[in-house]
Structure 1
Amino acid sequence: MTPEAAIADFLNGFSHPKLGLAVSGGGDSIAMLHLAAQGSVPLLAVTVDHGLRPEAADEARFVASVCVDLGVPHWTLRWRGWDGHGNLQDQARRARYQLIAEWARAQGVGHVALAHTLDDQAETFLMRLARSSGVDGLSEMTARQVDDVTFVRPLLGVSRADLRQMLKQRGADWVEDPSNHDPHYDRVKVRQHLVGLTDLGITAKGIADTSAALAQAREALNWAAHGFAAQHMHMVGPDVTIDIGAFADLPAELQRRLLVHVLRWLSGAEYSPRRQAVADLIQTALDGGKATLHGCAMSVRKGRIWLFREYAAVQSTSASVGHVWDNRFVISGPATNARIAALGAEGLQQLPNWRASGRPAAAVMADPAVWLDDRVIAAPLIAETQGWRAEPAPGRTDCHSALLTH
């Protein structure tokens, strides 16, 4: 598919009032900007300056100047959160998504386009293959949800070379990030070795086609897991319970898929736990034991696997009234000077009727509560409390529906 056709198809099917574009200044995103500017959809462009290279500020100014020429409003966002510890690329990527999502919400933009290409898809496939990823990891990239903002990828069927050729034909400039040629990064190593695979008939296009086929397999597996969940998985408050007899009869991949989904949904984690850790959790559940994984706890009660948030994972988490707590809930009510924190053992003692919920004490302890000094004034997941309510965080769907959207 040509770059022009890919963007035209995307914009023709885009039914929302405006579209955000994430533009770094590199060839892929600059090409997306030029192509999208030819359409009739109102555009807003955004660049994130991570402050990690001295050239970054100049690159943001370059994007701003291109946007002026094309008549597209532009914003530059700055991230200064790197503390020198951990995985720099991963932290920068997470921060980029979060900053752009916050910007999009402020501008009333529900969708932001990313300029990932067919080559990015092939490189990601090989990197994940090296980590022994399964169906999900090797499947085609999908739209990504951050809170209530959807990130879309209209250029996944277009090669990097075709985008640059289009820019050259138009006499358009772009910037080259030197890190794209630094062999210290795994993606650069994969990119360099991918060229040598063409002699074996392995091309970026072929790999991308395989990823697309695996995405269909992923969809079928999620559909099967959703059908099982509709019959055998139930919510008890914020906890998830699964009929252990029916679960034991599932194929191993569906057992794994279901538990991984529940763990990620409960914890709000972006990534899945390691495959062996999940296999161990499944075996412990089938043996009737208890375990913790991924910030969640598991026990078996009355023929059901009971999964809930682990108190240790939230005991230090707090939020103001009306703000998101633990990426899961927004607690709102009349007392603005209160704080939201986990109930814990101390709070549990202040709620003599908590057993009426039918939930394990360990699960209730991980619930959000409204604290005024050292006193619990509301626990909206346990009992109706006048003036206080708990609502899902923005963009958070129920556990069953989320099986079909991940």
Structure 2
Amino acid sequence: MAAPPPPDDALSDDGLEPLFASLDQASGIVAAVSGGPDSTALMHLLARWHAAGSRPPVHVATIDHGLRPDAAGEAAFVAREAGALGLPHRILAWTGNKPRTGIQEAAREARYRLLADHAHAAGASHLVTAHTLDDQAETIMMRLARGSGLSGLAGMRRETKRHGIFHARPLLGWPKARLLDLCRSQGWRFVEDPSNANAVYARVRWRRLMPLLAAEGLDAERLSRFAERAARADEALGLKAREALEGAGVSEEGGRVSFEGGILASEPLEIALRVLEQALRRAGLGLETSRLNRLESCAERLRTAIGAGETLSLTIAGALVRLDRSGRVSIAPEPPRRRGR
């Protein structure tokens, strides 16, 4: 479902009700607030929605990644602002050694793990973040550059499940500029994160390119509309692949998944890819969208072997995939590799 655009009166009960409608039945809500204008606006909007009726409890959380000296002060600032709104606040620190490469990806994973753990501890069923229309557009372009397929190009979903918690993005249809204007017009104080202007990060470089793309007609709204269409196609293909896998006599036993391999050769490659991916996920394994080329290579090798009546054994994403003489494919966790002799 597409994220709704901002209403004309975003602060009215009529404007806030549809914005947070999916949160009405939550057992509790954790709002991730960094102190920037996007998440600050989210916090204030949630506070007004919460005060307007009988709502689930709202908890505010700020992550201190320990990567910048100003981060602790910014987290303390959010704590004060949340307290002024009557919302409980927690600072969640990412401790331990930090990787030298891939720091943004590692920080993202740590951030969601900390937020999900806090939600579980607080008895909250939902995590809310302030991702915007601009964030969606940047995400799509970054995934396109990495070679993602339809699943990746569908962008961020308005609601997903992560670590057993529902992750909602109610502002996904809102431009960043609207949230910045809202903060300024309402006098809501916020902080500026200098890393948002650091070109060492890929997202920042893409952000600088977006005005050039918009000048050619590829603006955030059109990219978001493209993501919605990709999501529809992705959902339809996923359903067809699930039907194909069930029709191939899929079975699960002791962490091992197997099915008749002929389905990989008889279905179009796009369906075969999804059949294989779904089987991997049923076995508790799977690929990131950036690893689509590995999944394609695996599916094509299996299709060739099936057509030739051959057996095959290969590994992918921590899984051992085997095609036996009867034409049945089995997927199980890859056994530990022996080192030395």
Same topology, TM > 0.5? yes
CA distance in 1 between partners of 2:187 and 2:300 (Å): 61
Preserved contact between residue 264 and residue 272 of structure 1 (Cα < 8 Å): no
Report whether the alignment pairs 1:263 with 2:277: no
Q: Deviations over 1:61-102 (max 9, x none)?
A: 011011111111111110123334331111111011111111
1:184 to 172, 180, 200: 200
Contact preservation (8 Å) 2:139, 2:155 = no
Question: Structure 1 pair 231/74, CA: closer, same or farther in 2 (3 Å)?
Answer: same
Aligned partner of 2:226 among 205, 210, 215? 210
1:161: which partner in 2? 177
The aligned counterpart of 1:10 is: 19
Give CA deviations for 1:184-212 in whole Å, capped at 9, x if unaligned: 21111111111112221121111111111
Task: Please name the residue that 1:43 is paired with.
Answer: 58
AA aligned opposite 1:65: R
Does residue 138 of structure 2 align to residue 123 of structure 1?
A: yes
Taking the TM superposition and a 5 Å limit, the aligned residue runs for 1:33-112 are 33-40=43-50, 41=55, 42-112=57-127
Aligned counterparts of 1:291 and 1:44: Cα–Cα separation in 2:
47
Alignment CA distance shift 1:265-1:189 (3 Å): farther
- State the 1:267 CA deviation: 4.5
TM-score of the two chains, using structure 1 as the length reference: 0.73
Larger mean CA deviation between 222-231 and 54-63 belongs to 222-231
In structure 2, the CA distance between the partners of 1:305 and 1:268, relative to structure 1 (3 Å rule), is: closer
Bigger CA drift: 161-170 or 39-48? 39-48
Q: Match for residue 308 of structure 2?
A: none
SS of the equivalent of 1:37 reads helix
1:303 and 2:320 aligned: no
Map of 2:29 onto structure 1: 19
Identity of aligned residues (%): 35
| Secondary structure class of the residue paired with 1:312 | coil
Q: Contact between 2:133 and 2:220, CA under 8 Å: does it hold in 1?
A: yes
Q: Partners in 1 of 2:233 and 2:15 — Cα distance?
A: 24
Runs (5+) with no aligned partner, structure 1:
316-406
Q: What are the ranges of 5 or more consecutive residues in structure 2 without an aligned counterpart?
A: 306-310
SS of residue matched to 2:20: helix
Secondary structure of the corresponding residue to residue 290 of structure 1: strand
In angstroms, what is the RMSD of aligned CA positions? 1.9
Structure possessing the higher relative contact order (Cα contacts under 8 Å, 6 or more residues apart): 2
Length-normalised TM-score, structure 2: 0.87
User: If each structure's helix is expressed as a fraction of its own residues, which one has the higher value?
Assistant: 2
For 1:141-160, list aligned pairs within 5 A: 141-142=156-157, 143-160=159-176
SS of alignment partner, residue 225 of structure 1 = helix
Paired residue total: 314
